[in-house]
């Protein structure tokens, strides 16, 4: 499978008020996301609160998403663990369930070097599907330079895509692509906040959890077709929402509130521990959405 291209939505995990996975909302959200034109879906990412799920819940979530998707779009499954054996086991389960690839971040605080390379080599040897290398230091404390990422791709050809989220992402995208020499693609993240500039520097799309993925699809389709003016106009129109949803520490909570507001999930709760939105944030969100007249273009369901 060649490196990923396009818009891969990182699916939120809906919970009921009691903290259990809301399977009904999960099915509705998955179906709606496919209908928004995404090129693929990523599950069990940081934005999906994967680190808060029990192992049996992870398996159930994969099962439901695979069932609803029914092969219509590729599914990338996050399988990151601090232990190599645990990562291998999760990656094998994902492959057996039908995943098109796995997303693997470096183990916590394991900086670039022989041990990190060996970790990815062993994971790659254990599966027959591609690996997405997740570059996101806040989740694990690991900083990957452009050279370190390129060296990992050379050592582990199964890494066909880098999900690059360590700012400045446009500059690091260009630097890394030059070193990769075509061995892998790069997709952005960070809620799509820097998507336009990442595309300008050679990114092949984005893998993120923005609550209006059809907007990112519109940007990508315009860019890919050569309509730079349309891509820019769409990005600049919705940039205030990208920035609002991308607030550090609150981003996932805001995203889930928007998904609830859209009628895609029933409850915006995060599994504990997690932030809660106060009335001021909700009012600011409504003001932002009104200013963009978002409901006129993307009306809520029902």
Quote the pLDDT of residue 120.
98
Residue 223 lies inside a defined structural domain of this protein: yes
Task: Kindly state whether residue 68 falls inside one of the protein's structural domains.
Answer: yes
Residue 301 covered by a domain: no
CATH of the domain at 237: 3.20.20.70
Residue 302 lies in a domain: no
From CA 88, how far away is CA 75, in angstroms rounded?
Answer: 18
Of residues 227, 137, 226, 149, the one with CA closest to residue 189? 137
- Looking up tokens 């998507």 gives 195
Examine residue 1 and state whether it is found in any structural domain, yes or no: no
Are β-strands 131-135 and 159-164 bridged in parallel, bridged antiparallel, or unpaired?
parallel
Work out the number of other CB atoms within 10 angstroms of the CB of residue 238. Answer: 20
How far, in Å, CA of 244 to CA of 79, rounded? 29
Quote the domain boundaries for residue 121: 6-295
Residue 300, in any domain of the structure: no
**Which residues of the chain register pLDDT less than 50?**
1
Q: Is residue 238 part of a domain?
A: yes
**Number of structural domains the chain divides into:** 1
What is the tens place of the pLDDT at every residue in 123-151? 999 999 999 999 999 999 999 999 999 99
- Strand partners for 104: 133
For residue 302, the model assigns a pLDDT of 61
| pLDDT at residue number 301 | 84
Q: Full-prediction pTM beyond 0.85?
A: yes
Pair 176, 141: CB distance under 8 Å: no
Establish how many alpha carbons lie within 13 A of residue 166's alpha carbon, considering only the half-sphere containing its beta carbon: 20
Quick check: 150 and 176 in contact, CB under 8 A? yes
Whether 91 maps to a domain, the answer reads yes
User: How far apart are alpha carbons 300 and 246 in whole angstroms?
Assistant: 21
Q: Return the half-sphere exposure (C-beta side, CA atoms, 13 A cut-off) of residue 223.
A: 26
Q: How far apart are CA 31 and CA 126, in angstroms?
A: 31
Please give the structure tokens belonging to residue 113. Answer: 């070097």
> Can you tell me the distance from the alpha carbon of 40 to that of 10, in angstroms, rounded to the nearest whole number?
9
């Amino acid at each position: 499978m060649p490196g990923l291209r396009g818009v891969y939505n990182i699916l939120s995990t809906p919970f009921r008020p009691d903290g259990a996975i809301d399977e009904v909302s999960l099915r509705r959200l998955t179906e709606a996301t496919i209908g928004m034109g995404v090129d693929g879906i990523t599950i069990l990412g940081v934005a999906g609160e994967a680190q808060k799920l029990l192992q049996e819940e992870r398996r159930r979530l994969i099962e439901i998403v695979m069932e609803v998707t029914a092969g219509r779009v590729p599914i990338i499954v996050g399988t990151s663990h601090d232990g190599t054996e645990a990562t291998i086991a999760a990656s094998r389960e994902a492959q057996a369930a039908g995943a098109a690839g796995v997303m693997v971040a470096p183990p916590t605080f394991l900086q670039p070097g022989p041990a990190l390379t060996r970790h990815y080599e062993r994971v790659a040897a254990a599966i027959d599907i591609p690996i997405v290398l997740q570059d996101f230091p806040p989740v694990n404390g690991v900083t990957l330079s452009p050279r370190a990422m390129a060296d990992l791709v050379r050592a582990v050809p199964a890494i066909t895509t880098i999900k690059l989220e360590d700012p400045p992402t446009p500059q690091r995208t260009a630097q890394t692509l030059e070193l990769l020499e075509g061995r892998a693609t790069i997709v952005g993240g960070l809620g799509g906040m820097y998507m336009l500039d990442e595309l300008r520097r050679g990114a092949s799309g984005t893998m993120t959890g923005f609550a209006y993925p059809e907007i990112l699809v519109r940007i990508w389709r315009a860019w890919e077709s050569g309509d730079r003016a349309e891509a820019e106009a769409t990005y600049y129109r919705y940039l205030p929402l990208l920035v609002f949803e991308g607030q550090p520490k609150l981003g996932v909570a805001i995203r889930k509130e928007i998904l609830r507001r859209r009628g895609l999930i029933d409850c915006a709760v995060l599994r504990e521990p997690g932030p809660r939105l106060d009335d001021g944030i909700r009012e600011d969100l409504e003001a932002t959405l009104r200013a963009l007249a978002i409901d006129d273009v993307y009306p809520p369901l029902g």
